[in-house]
Structure 1
Amino acid sequence: MFSGSIPALVTPFRGGAFDEPAFRRLVDWQIENGSAALVACGTTGEASTLSNAEHHRVIEVCIEQAAGRVPVIAGCGSNDTRNAQLHMNFAKKSGAAAGLCVAPYYNRPSQRGLIAHFSYLAENCDLPIVLYNVPARTVTDILDDTVVELVTKYPDRIVAIKDASGDLSRVADHRMGIGRDFCQLSGNDELWLPHAAAGGRGCISVTANVAPKLCAEFHAAIAANELKLARELNDRLFPLHYAMFSDASPAPVKYALSRVHDWLQPEVRLPLVECSDEAKRAVDEALVSAGVLAG
């Protein structure tokens, strides 16, 4: 259902508020530079510090500005199943292509709890679901057997997974348990190439925020089986992948965007703070290394 370079968009702030004009420009720039789809209100979009009203406005603006040029995947995750359903209902009404639903965090549900959570969402809203597994942030891990059970039970509702577990063996496990056509997306930029080699369709990317054209070219090389070119592009991108996490994300990527565009601010919301001087140096060097900024 999805493939290619899919940025998990930042949510721009200015003076503490959602900077809607900057976000609209960011959406246009991403599409013009080859991004295949957009994620609004994911982890990189600081969804955890948005009110529900802000959350919904960001989704609404993204869909409105994309205007059908690329699909929009709306972040709908919550550790409250009813609130996740609220997000999904709004995203469906607004025209989202799917809802990105992270494993409930903090509560630490069992695998039975995960099955009950995602089953409830699948049964109470007909918006397609992209599972999001990121145990480093949520503590809870959506195990392979759980993914297989959910997709087998709801093949028309649970259509993809963003896997940020870092375990590449899961790509093959999901293919064997579900089928080769199941849409698997990497949630780790630095693992995008081996994830694709194992059968992945693309990446929901942090780096693509700041280097959308390069990331789109990288995916095109993978899709064309031009491995030499893909490795060359991967080498250019690799320092940038690591620089994006040289401090608490998304502070580094917001700083990077402020270096590329003067209409974007590096502002993040508490408890996050702007990235350190050391992280800024790492970002600057990586931007030059990737060719995003001139040396």
Structure 2
Amino acid sequence: MAGDPAASRADWFAGEFAGRFARLPLFDPAREKPRLRPLVAYGHFRRLMRDKENTAEVFGIFAALPWRGGGQAGAAFLSRPEGRALAMAEPWLPALLDDHAALRRLPAGSLGQAYCDFMEREGLTAQGLVDESERFLADRPRYDDQFQWYMSRLRDVHDLMHVLTGYGRDALGEACVLAFTYPQQPALGHLFIAWMAALQMKLRLRSRAPVLSAVGEAWRRGRACPRLMEQSIRSLLPLPLDEAQRRLGIVPEHAYSRAHAVWRSEGIDPDDLLGSR
């Protein structure tokens, strides 16, 4: 939301979100129409390849290659009763996802437990991704509308997708998650990063690993999955991980695991593909 993000979150937790959300327009009249800037995106990508942990460059690519149909998708979802009900039930996903004490009370083997394992192992928080995006957006226009809730969920389910798909945070894993995401959230930025990163791996490593096949398989897996940000995350978290995957139509991956196996056989560390090597 526009204004101070911390103040907005405090309002939500104080129970004021429902009334505030109902008073907001679907779209802020000042919201700019998304436009494509491929050269700007390429500049961000080059800096990202020098430091894949520089998340601000990812947000820069998405800003330059946005989802031009996102407004229509968001309006369609928020115009339905189930969309408005989900906004009331889950106003701020980072609060739900960062409450590991509550998630750890879910059954063993659940999506919630697997999510905690992943985030704690990687040293990540949902709020951390929010903070990265806020730093990037610090000098950009801010909008006060219902559509902002929808767009925020696009960002906030990213790490949950890692858990559901089985893709790690290595360079190929991130590329595969973005390829998986594209059919659900067709911003050209997803495809741009996924395929450009895959080509970088092929050109630099000259390996037999099926990198391009892994990215293509990830795209096909994502095509079969409904938009995760339109699902009740609170309802998915208690489910056994495999049941959550079945419910979402997420089939097992093969090429990503084969690529890792080939790299290891060639003496290549999958977690340092585009780093010092």
With normalisation by structure 1, the TM-score equals 0.28
Q: Which has the higher helix share?
A: 2
Higher-Rg structure is 2
With normalisation by structure 2, the TM-score equals 0.29
Q: Which has the higher strand share?
A: 1
